[in-house]
Amino acid sequence: MATESGAPQGAAALVLDTLLQQVRDLLAAVFTGPEAVAGEIVRRRRVVQAAGGVFGAADLAGLKPTVEQWLSEHPEADGLGFLAAAGLLPDRERHIQWWQRGATGFVPMRLNLDPTCVDVYDYFEMEWYAAARDHSARAVFGPYVDYSAADSYICTFTVPVIDGDEFLGVAGTDLRMSDLEPRLLGLLRRAGHDAVLVGAERRIVAANTSRWLVGSRLPCVPQAGDGVFLAAGEVGLDSGWVLGLADLE
């Protein structure tokens, strides 16, 4: 986090530190869902292997109680589940065990995983999957319209599933922006400044003023003293999010 000297910047910096921690707390709560799924996958796989068995798709189906409990406690989430790494399961290269919120309960998500098809859902190529596989990092992707799955405006939160030094896949959850944005906005409204939260691609996640439109992109990442922002700082948690505070317009 960087700020210029002077009273306005100093005051903004204090506000910024408080808001950054509040946003981190919100994101940490969201990540508890994927982290619970990741922990359950590792536990189940170890049990199967200790008994001399082969971990397979049927073992992943047992994740449903963990998923349903977390989704029941987090109505802002559209879905929660797991995407297997290549070679994890003996009988399939790709596999998704993911449940979505439906009209009458939680239903498994069905996607075309056949790589020979034009409309294949090739999650191996997704940015949030690559972040977990290649860098063992969490990721927040979006907001975006997920036409291939939830068909809604969402943010995807993911964590790597790792047992020892072995990458097993990615656990994640989708949060509807119609629920996430108001929660973020409730924090930004306390700023006393114009405030904007920007994602990894400079895409605006939330703002407490109409000068910045959610979903649009800023020309550059907010930086303190850049002529617009009094203070700016990274949210962290591998989110790629940056929070900027400016004078009231």
Beta strands in 177-238 (DSSP E): 194-198, 204-207, 229-234
Q: Report the relative pairing of strands 153-163 and 139-145 from DSSP bridges.
A: antiparallel
Is the pTM above the cut of 0.75?
yes
Angle at 95 between CA 91 and CA 98, to 5 degrees: 140
Residue 149: its pLDDT value, please? 52
3-state secondary structure of 94: coil
Which pair of tokens denotes residue 171? 């656990």
Residue 147: its pLDDT value, please? 63
Residue 3: its pLDDT value, please? 41
Q: Residue 169 belongs to what H/E stretch?
A: strand 166-176
Q: Which residues of the chain have pLDDT under 70?
A: 1-9, 147-151
- DSSP for 127-162, please give it: HHHHHHHHH---EEEEEEE-TTTT-SEEEEEEEEEE
Angle at 246 between CA 244 and CA 249, to 5 degrees: 140
Residue 157: its pLDDT value, please? 96
Handedness of CA 55, 56, 62, 67 (dihedral sign): positive
CATH no., domain 31-176: 3.30.450.20
| Domain edges within the chain | 2-25+180-246, 31-176
Comparing CA positions, the residue from 99, 108, 89, 106 lying closest to residue 37 is 99
Residue type, 89: L
Residue 91: its pLDDT value, please? 81
Residue type, 98: W
> CA 192 from chain center: how many Å?
27
pLDDT in tens, 166-188: 999 999 999 988 899 999 999 99
Which pair of tokens denotes residue 214? 């959610």
